[in-house]
Structure 1
Amino acid sequence: MVNFRKYISSVAVLASGFFLAQSTVSTVLYSQAYDNQKSSLNLPSPVTSMVEKTILSSKELVDINVNTMMADPVLKNANWGFVVYDPKTKKVISSYNENTPLVPASTTKLLTTETAMSLLGENYRWMTQLEYSGSIDENGVLNGNLYIVGSGDPSLGTNKAGAWSYRDIVSDFVSGISREGIKKVNGDIIIQTALFKGNIARLPENVVWLENNNYYLPVGTTKEINPANEKLIVKKGGFSTEKKYFYVSPYNNQMVYADKYDGEGILTTKLPDAPAYLANTFRTTLVKSGVAVTGKVTPKMTDPSPENRKLVSAYKSPTLGDIVYYTNQRSDNSLAEALLRTVGFQSLGDQTSETGRIVVTNHLKEQGFDMVGLNYSDGSGLSRSNNVTPISQVKFLSSLMDEKYYKTYFNSLPIGGQSGTLKSMFLGTGNGQIFAKTGTLNKVKTLAGYLKTNSGKTLAFSLMVNNYAGSVDMVKKRMEKILEPALDL
């Protein structure tokens, strides 16, 4: 907490001694607001201002700025916290409500992406393989099955982070079939993956359905959401020209869309079952290119008696470092949730979000994360049940600076005024000096990361605002104002 009283007393004592003869002049603490109000104040002489600026350090100016913001109409009734922390000295430079648990929104992704990089390595890749069983006769007929073996690649077919499109992957697989001399497939195309089976997931508690006008549903369907809490609305037009099926969230009564209505209260989301989509597209393309397939596309989650198979082609995803860069720059919710499930599977052999949360929280404990006030509910930050304290965020960010993957992690963060979700902030002061993850929900705006000071220091900071008044743009301006004097530390 800022000790505002000592600055008033110290400045007052010095100023009173220096200006004893000027009985009508009262000491005014220097702040940016003071500069803006010169014309309407009974101001001391220029010499007074110069002395007072000299008296106040950069840290004191930061503290005074924070105190000023406490009375700001946008923030005065909000629940907010702020910390600037020096990773070298391991000391708090300035803070306000630093131990208060707050809703972090998408700054939650800082924990998810770091856990993935720590446990899997920044060069980790997902593999999607094409294989075949049986034999190829002299006429090029494969008497056996084709297998598409997936590994839960969250970027499959999406073009995200440099990932190939479905068309590119299918083209590569078809070329592989041609190289093997296969002209006909007398068998099935089998999808084999034990990961993300069915792609059905329960929603995290208190999830936000409508974020910045982007609609969100979990991968898969709403089948396992408690029917007692759901209300389904099926329409044809009226709300959107493209989306036909709608669902009312039990949490905040917002309407969201899905691409398919399966009946009996089940909606299928816009994200397809990637391996199935790939396999069906592959079969269609083979047939169109003259390679007949007698069987059908069929999933096989487990295979107690696997056939001997030969590898035809293997598609590698972008590196985890590339995926993390895309996730943090664009605040991609689906990639963050997939990373959560991937670390769960790789660590404990189970692909559920619940297992992922266990793995992330255990990892944070092992890393010495300050668990007081932490509630890690999902991988993306869409749940309002997420909570974290500003002080734990900055200590966590500071601890990463010695990790071998720190450079990749740091580079994944949006840059103020230049890239990602920070491109429209810090266009003036702070441009190119703020490296941070943003977070935005209704009446929640957060920012956490690193700042490069004018003297060359790297400091960690966290600034989280919950339940503010006014618009999100108004809060952004206050955040810029709070951080501005910190650049001179």
Structure 2
Amino acid sequence: MVNFRKYISSVAVLASGLFLAQSTVSTVLYSQAYDNQKTSLNLPSPITSMVEKTILSPKELVDINVNTMMSDPVLKNASWGFVVYDPKTKKVISSYNENTPLVPASTTKLLTTETALNLLGENYRWMTQLEYSGSIDENGVLNGNLYIVGSGDPSLGTNKAGAWSYRDIVADFTSGISREGIKKVNGDIIIQTALFKGNIAVLPENVVWLENNNYYLPVGTTREINPANEKLLVKKGTGFSAEKKYFYVSPYMNQMVYADRYDGEGVLTTKLPDAPAYLANTFRTTLVKSGIAVTGKVTPKMTDTTPESRKMISAYKSPTLGDIIYYTNQHSDNSLAEALLKTVGFQRLGDQTSESGRMVVTNHLKQASFDLSGLSYMDGSGLSRSNTVTPISQVKFLTSLMDQKYYKTYLTSLPVGGQSGTLKRMFIGEGNGQIFAKTGTLNKVKTLAGYMKTNSGRTLVFSLMVNNYSGSVDMVKKRMEKLLEPALDL
């Protein structure tokens, strides 16, 4: 920390001589009047700021801001930590509680997305293939089955990151059927994928399903039912009303999940839970409507000990992993982050569960010399309040990535202050276009971690995590901006 008495005295003397005894002490040190100010920062005037910058270095101003925040009415009873780190010298420039484990919220995605980039490569794509077994006779009748073979594409049918819609994929598959001369399918449409047999197995500990009226995770699998507008009954006596947010226990997974809306009379409507099933059912409906009869049904077949000989009709490629990670971090997309967690688990351990994903991510971090002290990695998205990480481990991790070949892709995926993603409405003035960071937000949790391009052209790494604050999230965001502002002059 800075010797505050020395520098405050210098500022006060100069200010009193130049500006009719205008003191700056109250702008940087705690006062009783400041404690009573609940809704905004006691920001210094432009004249005071000019005097401070004349006397104090940027580092000293950062340290003074840290001291101010310690007694700020919004933060003084909060648990929070902060680090600004120089990746060239490998030294901490300024810090507060840098070794304290804190809830990181969606900055957890920094670990998940980097692990996927490292293990799979930025050009990795998921494939969803249409195949058929059996033979096609002279009348165009396929005496065999159609197979939709998935690979766990998290963007399937979502339009996210440039992914095709279900309609586009179905149109492509239907064109493939026509190219093969198939006019009737005397068999089933079989969904075959070894991944994600159920979107939810065991929920992460202390997971947040609903915050600030926003839903976060996808629901469980629909298995053999048509998932279009799936409806589930609610047990009587639950006390649901149209103003509340709703949860139910999935009859397919026996896990608590959320519903999209309450339709009245004990009926809940969920979000689309099973992309391959929805694709297959839509495909079958489209074929029948276009005059291509399908005698069988849509059915899942997760494992096949005696696979039929098959021929590929068409293959849909997902956007690249780099594109999907860009979308995930820009929009803080929880569904994609959880899917990435399962993907790395499957690719390394052959198991599609979140537990395997967590094991793979943790092992990767250990091999990358991540400081595991204070780390609790419970999910891929940051929704669990049991996640913890220290500010110093975040900045050292981010620093280590600057030497990776995929660093540019990783950096580009992060929201930019004042310009893009979840940072578009922060750093609109100072720091506009200079802060590249992942945000995190849960109730009474606000976090920010990433990179900073200073006015002198340096790249610094920082982490700022605030837990259990008072006031509104906007008040915390203003204090974050204020704390980081002088660091731009380093």
Q: TM-score range by the shorter chain?
A: 0.7 to 0.9
After superposition, the C-alpha distances for 1:125-176 in whole angstroms (9 at most, x for unaligned) are 0000000111111111111111110000011111111111111000000000
For 1:464, the equivalent position in structure 2 comes to 465
Report how far residue 56 of structure 1 moved. 1.8
Contact 2:98 2:392 in 1 (8 A): yes
Distance 2:222 2:174 in 1: 35
Residues 415 and 238 (structure 1), Cα distance of their counterparts in 2 relative to 1, 3 Å cut: same
Distance 1:400 1:110 in 2: 11
1:9 to 6, 30, 44: 6
For 2:103, the equivalent position in structure 1 comes to 103
Residues 442 and 187 (structure 1), Cα distance of their counterparts in 2 relative to 1, 3 Å cut: same
Distance 1:232 1:361 in 2: 40
Q: Which runs of 5+ in 1 are unaligned?
A: 40-45, 224-230, 249-253
Distance 1:126 1:49 in 2: 53
Q: TM-score, normalised by structure 2?
A: 0.86
For 2:87, the equivalent position in structure 1 comes to 87
1:257 correspondence with 2:254: no
SS at match of 1:178: helix
After superposition, the C-alpha distances for 1:271-313 in whole angstroms (9 at most, x for unaligned) are 3211111111111101111111111111111111111111100
1:215 correspondence with 2:215: yes
After superposition, the C-alpha distances for 1:369-426 in whole angstroms (9 at most, x for unaligned) are 1110000000000000000000000000111001011001100001111111111111
Contact 1:185 1:294 in 2 (8 A): yes
Distance 1:183 1:340 in 2: 41
Residues 410 and 234 (structure 1), Cα distance of their counterparts in 2 relative to 1, 3 Å cut: farther
Distance 1:214 1:50 in 2: 42
For 1:43, the equivalent position in structure 2 comes to none
Listed as ranges, the matches of 1:11-90 within 5 Å are 12=9, 53-90=53-90
Contact 1:100 1:373 in 2 (8 A): yes
Residues 87 and 167 (structure 1), Cα distance of their counterparts in 2 relative to 1, 3 Å cut: same
Q: Which runs of 5+ in 2 are unaligned?
A: 31-41, 224-233, 250-255
Counterpart of 1:468 in structure 2: which amino acid? Y
Counterpart of 1:239 in structure 2: which amino acid? A
Contact 1:31 1:61 in 2 (8 A): no
SS at match of 2:259: strand
Q: TM-score, normalised by structure 1?
A: 0.86
Distance 1:380 1:129 in 2: 28
Residues 276 and 413 (structure 1), Cα distance of their counterparts in 2 relative to 1, 3 Å cut: same
Report how far residue 239 of structure 1 moved. 1.8
For 2:435, the equivalent position in structure 1 comes to 434
Distance 1:259 1:186 in 2: 39
For 1:226, the equivalent position in structure 2 comes to none
Residues 26 and 324 (structure 1), Cα distance of their counterparts in 2 relative to 1, 3 Å cut: closer
Report how far residue 471 of structure 1 moved. 0.4
Contact 2:219 2:257 in 1 (8 A): no
Residue correspondences, number: 461
Could you tell which deviates more after superposition, 231-240 or 54-63? Answer: 231-240
SS at match of 1:278: helix
Distance 1:267 1:466 in 2: 34
Report how far residue 336 of structure 1 moved. 0.3
Report how far residue 29 of structure 1 moved. 5.9
Residues 209 and 185 (structure 1), Cα distance of their counterparts in 2 relative to 1, 3 Å cut: same
SS at match of 2:128: strand
After superposition, the C-alpha distances for 1:50-99 in whole angstroms (9 at most, x for unaligned) are 88644421111110111111111101111001100011111100001100
Counterpart of 1:479 in structure 2: which amino acid? M
For 1:184, the equivalent position in structure 2 comes to 184
SS at match of 1:200: coil
Contact 2:222 2:274 in 1 (8 A): no
Counterpart of 1:9 in structure 2: which amino acid? K
Distance 1:304 1:482 in 2: 60
SS at match of 2:198: helix
Distance 2:471 2:239 in 1: 35
Contact 1:127 1:314 in 2 (8 A): yes
Distance 2:267 2:365 in 1: 36
Residues 255 and 121 (structure 1), Cα distance of their counterparts in 2 relative to 1, 3 Å cut: closer
Listed as ranges, the matches of 1:179-328 within 5 Å are 179-220=179-220, 238-239=241-242, 246-247=247-248, 256-258=258-260, 269-328=270-329
Distance 2:388 2:269 in 1: 30
Residues 206 and 408 (structure 1), Cα distance of their counterparts in 2 relative to 1, 3 Å cut: same
For 1:352, the equivalent position in structure 2 comes to 353
Report how far residue 30 of structure 1 moved. 9.8
